[in-house]
Amino acid sequence: MKMSLFIVAAASPIVPIAIIAIIILLVFIIACIKIVPQATTFIIERFGAYKTTWETGIHFKWPFIDRVAKKISLKEKVADFAPQAVITKDNVTMQIDTVLFYQVIDPKLYTYGIERPITAIENLSATTLRNIIGDLELDQTLTSRDIINTRMREILDEATDPWGIKVNRVELKNIIPPKEIQAAMEKQMKAEREKREQILIAEGQKESAIRVAEGEKEAAILRAEAKKQAAIREAEGQAQAILEIQEAKARGLQMIKDVGADDSVISLRGLEALEKLGEGPATKIIIPSDLQGAASLATSIKEIVKDK
């Protein structure tokens, strides 16, 4: 029996102890190699005390001596805080919730500076908000968001410097006044809209009246200009007619002069003129007492023609 057991033990494969030790050592070394990803840092402690801060890359940690105390992301983070009850300067209670954008810039201070830093930032944000809103009235609070955001960011950024945190931006997410204030604001907004509507209607009517008046003015100017042009044309026509009549008379006299009319012809023309005059509406006709007077008249007309 003892002989058979010895034969079985001698026949089983024997693994060298050195190979096992090497495998265990390799596994242990691999476990001690740490890779820090991008935008992340590791806080390393040795025997419970801060040793160093690992940046992005490959690092080796001594077994049983060093340990990773904390892994910290350097990315910008967002903290959405619950609504806080605040009281304005004119004693109006409202609810305001804030959104905080922050970033860890010093991992060591962030790890050892304060316990639960986000809770501390939330409480600090609430007290800062109450202090700022307490100095503002309701209307200023509703219209001064940028000012409140800037003041809160400056105060929180300065307060969180010892904690290794940088506050990049603070935003007031919601401002919720009491219901009665909301109802009054809605009435005010409605009245303001109606006022703007009435102003727009009045401005439209005013613009329409101005346009109508301008149209009437332009029409009157055009009518006056038309009358002026018509009067000018009429005057020019009359002047032209008078000129043509005078020219015709001048040509007639010139023709009499050119033909050399004697006294008898002139007398005859005078009698024809008297005959035409007699055909008119006049009741009296002046006739020379004798033909010698007519001849004298004809002679005078002839002299006038010669002078022309």
* CATH number for the domain harbouring residue 143: 3.30.479.30
CA distance 35 to 33: 7
CB 256 within 8 A of CB 305: yes
Lowest mean pLDDT among 183-187, 199-203, 258-262, 303-307: 303-307
Same domain, 269 and 238: no
What domain range includes position 308?
A: 260-278+286-308
Is residue 279 predicted with pLDDT exceeding 90?
no
The pTM score is: 0.54
Look at residues 177, 195, 224 and tell me which one is the last residue of a structural domain. Answer: 177
In a domain, 6, yes or no: no
Would you say residue 62 lies in a domain?
yes
In a domain, 8, yes or no: no
pLDDT digits (tens, 9 = 90+) for 223-241: 888 888 888 888 888 888 8
Residue 249 lies in a domain: no
Whether 253 is in a domain gets the answer: no
Asked if the structure places residue 69 within a domain, the reply is: yes
Exposure letters 263-300 (e unless 16+ CB within 10 A, then b): eeebbeebeeeeeeeeeeeeeeeeeeeeeeebbeebee
Q: What is the pLDDT of residue 273?
A: 57
Q: Is residue 255 part of a domain?
A: no
Query: Percent of the chain at pLDDT above 90?
Result: 25
pLDDT for 170 equals: 93
Shared domain check, 144 and 111: yes
Share of the chain above pLDDT 70, in %: 78
Same domain (yes/no): 149, 234: no
Overall domain count for the chain? 4
